[in-house]
């Protein structure tokens, strides 16, 4: 056991003395020491219940003969951080979480880890730590929130964001907006659609790092508590067998995860997190892999924000295992998972509890929602190194669009213009200097995209940015434009009125300006200076571009 180094031999008497000060007994000294890495806090709805869920994990560890030690990581709520400078801290928190876990686990020489995240950057931060540390690990994602229910319809956080745009456009009264605010977020759990948090939970299960069924088991469901306890029991066995994350997660595992991502119409943020995660597992996952698999993996389920169904419907229809079952002919089924069985073996045991709903919600390879996957990677003169769009959530008539640029150097300026009604049908809103370095921090643009949606412009207005979008974004919203503006990418050279051509089907994004004119602009280009201090200054110096996953040296 790795923990032997802190608890065996006469020279470790001081170490044991300190452990005994916490209540550890002599008999427990002989058992595996398991870190329960919990991102519980009081401000993120997806995490407010993790303290209770951790008790189930610890009970499972004790049941199996291990000794649990709980510690906590930080976490940022993207929804609360949205639309102001706080969002600059969301993506950078990913590496801080990873570093925190490394510091605690290495310092105390734990034998294994149960990782307990729920939300957007917190799940990838935990997974990245698993890859970096490579000690036996299992993940218990906290589970989705139940949808709200307003005016006889299910609702979620995106309903509220889009409600703001509808209110500004005079389509919603203040009383109706307040009703959305009060009733759309029903309690503990990650927001109720296939947004980034739930997409990453699905990626975790597809990678084999959590038990089957974990991703979609809701935060308030007893099933989640049982899975937590079973995960606590399983980690002890993983320690005894010394099965580590790098034995489970390979490039074939990432291919499986991307196929699931394409099939469920997941968040574009996976194109940041999966490459960064692969990097920590000692692997290279290029952005092009997403587009390659998107072309051959159909979109099989219509979930919010691109469709009418919520995570609750997905769970009742069978969750990730139902998607894996449909994708079985395409999958790498020999990949091992944390329960000790392969993807294929798990599917052999998979039972469809609600067959009618399963057939209604999850389509087949032969008759999919869309022939291609949820995400497309666009390249061209505006994005030589790539950009991403959730094509499954774009109105078909906007798959090909040419329009004049309306250029803004920060999200706040764009938001002010959108809410003032200055954006007209046909326009292409360009928001730049919001990339990993330029922001710094690569903010999400959900407030802007939701305002456009609430005003009824998603079938006529596109938005392009070197920043990123929430998993809740829908419509012709193209992010991660690389190189970013602060590094002199072509997006920095765009002027108001320039024509931009979008062709999602052909995967192109082009600035229709003659090269000689661009050369003149490039020669005169000087990036704006921003005063950046503290952690963001360090992050800005170390972060790489979005097409690499925004990895940090």
Active site residues: 470
Inter-residue contact 155 to 442 (CB < 8 Å): no
Whole-number Å distance between alpha carbons of 174 and 168: 10
Q: What is the DSSP string of 196-256?
A: HHHHHHHHHHHHTSS-TTTTTS-TTSHHHHHHHHHHHHHHHHHHHHT--HHHH--HHHHHH
* Beta-strand relationship, 508-511 and 67-72: unpaired
Are 428 and 464 in contact by the 8 Å Cβ rule? The answer is: yes
Backbone torsions φ then ψ of 36, nearest 5 degrees: -105, 100
C-alpha dist (Å) from residue 376 to 232, 289, 390, 393, 491: 38, 11, 6, 11, 19
Helices within 366-500 (DSSP H only): 411-419, 446-454
The Cα-based distances of 241 to 55, 57, 172, 237, 238 in angstroms read 24, 19, 58, 6, 5
Instruction: Tell how strand 33-38 and strand 67-72 pair up.
Output: parallel
Contact 120, 92 (CB under 8 A): no
Residue with tokens 């005994």: 20
Task: Return all residues near 26 (Cβ < 8 A) that are at least 6 apart.
Answer: none
* Token digits of residue 440: 């710094």
Residue 418 and residue 462 in contact, taking contact as beta carbons nearer than 8 Å? no
Tokens of 371: 């022939």
CA torsion through residues 294, 479, 395, 158, sign: positive
Query: Which residues 6+ apart lie within 8 Å of 406 measured at CB?
Result: 417, 422, 423, 427, 428, 429, 430, 496
Helix/strand/coil (H/E/C) assignment for every residue in 483-537: CCHHHCCHHHHCCCCCEEEEECCCCEEEECCCHHHHHHHHHCCCCCCCCCCHHHH
Cα(481)–Cα(485) distance, rounded to whole angstroms? 9
Cα 455 to Cα 84, 166, 399, 423: the distances in Å are 21, 5, 20, 10
């Amino acid at each position: 056991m790795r923990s032997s180094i802190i608890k065996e031999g006469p020279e470790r008497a001081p170490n044991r003395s300190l452990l005994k000060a916490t209540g550890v007994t002599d008999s427990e000294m002989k058992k595996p020491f398991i870190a329960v890495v919990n991102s519980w806090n009081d401000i993120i709805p997806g995490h407010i219940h993790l303290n209770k869920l951790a008790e189930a994990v610890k009970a499972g560890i004790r049941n199996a003969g291990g000794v649990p030690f709980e510690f906590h990581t930080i976490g940022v709520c993207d929804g609360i951080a949205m639309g102001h400078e706080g969002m600059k801290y969301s993506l950078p928190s990913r590496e801080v979480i990873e570093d925190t876990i490394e510091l605690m686990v290495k310092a105390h020489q734990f034998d294994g880890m149960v990782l307990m995240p729920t939300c957007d950057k917190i799940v990838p931060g935990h997974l990245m730590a698993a890859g970096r540390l490579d000690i036996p690990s299992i993940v218990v994602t906290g589970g989705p929130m139940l949808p709200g229910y307003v005016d006889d319809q299910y609702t979620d956080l995106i309903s509220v964001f889009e409600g703001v745009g509808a209110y500004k456009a005079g389509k919603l009264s203040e009383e109706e907006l307040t009703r959305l605010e009060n009733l759309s977020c029903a309690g503990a759990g990650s927001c109720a659609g296939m947004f980034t948090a739930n997409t990453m939970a699905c990626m975790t299960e597809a990678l084999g790092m959590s038990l089957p069924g974990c991703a979609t088991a809701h935060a308030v469901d007893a099933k989640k508590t049982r899975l937590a306890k079973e995960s606590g029991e399983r980690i002890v066995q993983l320690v005894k067998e010394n099965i580590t994350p790098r034995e489970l997660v390979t490039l074939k595992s990432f291919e499986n995860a991307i196929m699931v991502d394409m099939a469920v119409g997941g968040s574009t943020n996976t194109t940041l997190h999966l490459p960064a995660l692969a990097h920590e597992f000692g692997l290279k996952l290029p952005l092009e892999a997403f587009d390659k698999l998107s072309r051959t993996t159909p979109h099989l389920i219509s979930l919010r924000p691109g469709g009418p169904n919520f995570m609750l419907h997905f769970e009742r229809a069978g969750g990730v295992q139902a998607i894996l079952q449909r994708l079985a002919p395409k999958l790498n089924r020999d990949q091992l998972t944390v329960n000790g069985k392969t993807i294929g073996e798990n599917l052999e045991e998979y039972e469809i509890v609600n067959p009618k709903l399963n057939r209604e919600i999850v389509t087949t390879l032969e008759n999919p929602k869309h022939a291609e996957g949820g995400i497309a990677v666009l390249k061209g003169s505006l994005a030589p190194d790539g950009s991403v769009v959730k094509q499954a959530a774009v109105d078909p008539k906007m798959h090909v669009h040419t329009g004049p640029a309306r250029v803004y150097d920060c999200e706040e300026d764009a938001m002010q213009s959108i809410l003032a009604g200055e954006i007209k049908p046909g326009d292409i809103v360009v928001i730049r200097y919001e990339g990993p370095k330029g922001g710094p921090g690569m903010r999400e643009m959900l407030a802007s995209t939701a305002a456009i949606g609430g005003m009824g412009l998603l079938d006529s207005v596109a938005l392009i940015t070197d920043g990123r979008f929430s998993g809740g974004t829908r419509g012709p919203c193209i992010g991660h434009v690389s190189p970013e503006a602060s590094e002199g990418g072509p997006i920095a050279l765009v002027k108001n009125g320039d024509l931009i051509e979008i062709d999602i089907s052909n995967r192109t994004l082009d600035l229709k300006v003659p090269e000689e004119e661009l050369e003149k602009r490039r020669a005169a280009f000087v990036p704006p200076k921003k005063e950046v201090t503290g952690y963001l200054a360090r992050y800005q110096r170390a972060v790489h571009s979005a097409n690499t996953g925004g990895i940090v040296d």
